[in-house]
Amino acid sequence: MIMKLGKRAAAVFISASILGLAACSSAPEQEEIERVPNKSVQALYDDAKRTLDSGLYARAIQLLGAINARYPFGPYSRQVQMDLVYAYYQTGNVDQALATIDRFIRLNPNHKNLDYMYYMRGLVNIKADENAFQEYFGVDRADRDVSKTRVAFQDLSTLVKNYPNSSYTPEAKKRLAWLLNKMARYELKIANYYYEREAYLAAANRGKYVVEHYSQSSYLLEALDMMEKSYDKLGLTELSENVRKTKALNQR
């Protein structure tokens, strides 16, 4: 049966290097924590918040880490962890950000700000898949592994499904559409690889996967084209004709 589917240089180098170094940093070391003044938790958090708001993320991590270490069960503990996630994200430290998010979700399954944590988890996984240097110079990276993209899609899907009224949901929906296109494009990149090597069945199956799983992406017609020409090469005229009819429906 045929059904209609849904649509849907130097400064740069230095900057990228700084981001790379930041990404390699870990949680505040004990000696860094000890260098933080011994103030009350309120005074320390006020300092950390001002620092965070000023964009001094490395220093904010140091201050927030000191609070987290000295007052792990204090009244600011959960807020400190959320702020740490944001600071880690801004410095590109995806490993620490994810570890902090996962620990927060595990220990606070009913917390009122879980929507924020799932949103940030999606953003962090997107960042984990980025390469600022290549993106800047327009390098085509569609053939790269998209495992982190899939995880980010799942994170943001969880947010949209479980927290439809969250203030983060509208932005999450926009990012989901972008991620959907990215995953569809990845599949078609592989389909083209197979087609060029005359592995037509494998190419058709990749196109079919896009149609079945990413029909809301902007790559639907391209996927149908891949199926049609692959079936033609295989001599599967009935399947090719069905694809042509489906394509015609979706071009209206």
pLDDT score at 198 = 97
For residue range 1-34, list pLDDT tens digits in order.
344 454 443 333 334 343 444 444 445 555 555 5
Highest mean pLDDT among 95-109, 122-136, 144-158: 95-109
pLDDT score at 26 = 46
pTM exceeds 0.85, yes or no: no
Separation CA 219–CA 226 (nearest Å): 11
Contact status, residue 83 vs residue 66, Cβ threshold 8 Å: no
String of b and e for 209-219 (b: at least 16 CB within 10 Å)?
bbbeebbebeb
For residue range 214-247, list pLDDT tens digits in order.
999 999 999 999 999 999 999 999 999 999 999 9
Query: Which residue, among 191, 222, 216, has the nearest Cα to 205 in the 3D structure?
Result: 191
Contact status, residue 185 vs residue 218, Cβ threshold 8 Å: no
Examine the pLDDT at 176 and tell me if it is beyond 70: yes
